[in-house]
Amino acid sequence: MTAVPLLDIRGLVTEFRTETGVVRAVKGVDLTVNAGETVAVVGESGSGKSVTSLSVMRLIPKAVGGIAAGEVLFKGRDGVVRDLAQEPELAMRKVRGNEISMIFQEPMTSLNPTVKVGSQIAEAALLHQGLTQKQAWDRAVEMLALVEIPEPKRRADVFPHQMSGGMRQRVMIAMALACNPALLIADEPTTALDVTVQLQILELMRRLQREIGMGILFITHNLGVVAEIADRVAVMYGGRIVESASVTQLFDKPSHPYTRGLLASMPVVDHAARLRGEVPRLKAIPGSVVDPRRPPAGCDFNPRCGWAVERCRSEVPPVFAVNPGHGSRCFRWSELDG
């Protein structure tokens, strides 16, 4: 008997209403996350990663858009599978911050600058766990200690601007984990941090995942981070997942031209070339990310793709099975060498 995934997204379509008409930002996304597993969604800015995560949390204002089709099946702590796309707003409020939590990419704009960090962490415990003010404050101090912030009692009594960027990101993680969620959505949680702090945050998330057993949906544009933290990867472009595989499969045999372009654009340190005075050149994917208001016919990536043929310009590729657990939306996937 196959275990039920913690999160099972099926055919998710998300649309926005604009002055020029309806824009489809997510086009039929299928994605699963199991308990204790980290799934990374990677792609350039504008590929639909964050909109997918906001759709799961139902955080897109109804005035501008929302889920137009598909299912977002979530297995709660009670073992019941619910379609979050159809849940009433009151029911979603009991899910957000409690069973599913989210870390946003810029803590300085996500934290309330006028409220002490301890109070902000305690809020979720007060709302979802029915604790007293004293118990919730103690929980906030406990969470600050859990995310390895020194002097947690003192730090709970300060404002966000009195902390460094790395510490603020740890506060965001503490807030997200205050109710021991089953699923954590991390939207570019290390983007604004320097490399040393970034590594510390990734190691912290791995350790907390082992201790709590939660699933993680990790959104990033950094394939280096993906290699560090993920079990499986979904590469997104133009609102679709164009390739999905385990981390090993993706790095060993990328089977979509966009994935190959992302991997080729990663900087490589060549010490011998530096000693010779040579300046390494970064490889870039030509062109720009597809404009969702004016998507091309056929494969969304075809205007930037050196492998595109006439079929790519008229038909949307289905998902081809490269290997078990490895799929690619490319008609020519079998011709791409790893």
- Strand-by-strand arrangement of the 21-33 sheet: 21-33, 7-18, 65-75, 81-83
pLDDT tens sequence for the chain (338 residues): 457 899 999 999 999 999 888 999 999 999 999 999 999 999 998 899 999 999 999 999 999 999 999 999 999 888 899 999 999 999 999 999 899 999 887 766 788 999 999 999 999 889 888 889 999 999 999 989 988 899 999 999 999 999 988 888 889 888 888 888 999 999 888 776 677 777 887 888 888 888 888 999 999 988 888 988 899 999 999 999 999 999 999 999 999 999 999 998 887 766 666 667 666 677 889 998 898 889 999 999 999 999 999 999 999 999 999 999 999 999 999 998 64
DSSP conformation letters of 95-108: HBTTTEEEE-S-HH
Residue 277: other Cβ atoms inside 10 A:
6
Is residue 117 in some structural domain? no
Is residue 157 in some structural domain? no
Residue 336, domain CATH? 3.40.50.300
What's the total number of domains in the chain?
1
Is residue 294 in some structural domain? no
Q: Map residue 68 onto helix, strand or coil.
A: strand
The amino acid at residue 14 is T
List, in order, residues 6 or more apart from 242 with CB less than 8 Å away: 235, 236, 256, 258, 259, 301, 328, 329, 330
pTM flag (> 0.75): yes
**pLDDT given for residue 1 in this prediction:** 46
Is residue 35 in some structural domain? yes
Is residue 326 in some structural domain? yes
Contact of 244 with 235, CB cutoff 8 Å:
yes
Q: Domain range spanning residue 259?
A: 1-91+212-268+319-338
**Pairing mode of beta strands 240-246, 326-328:** antiparallel
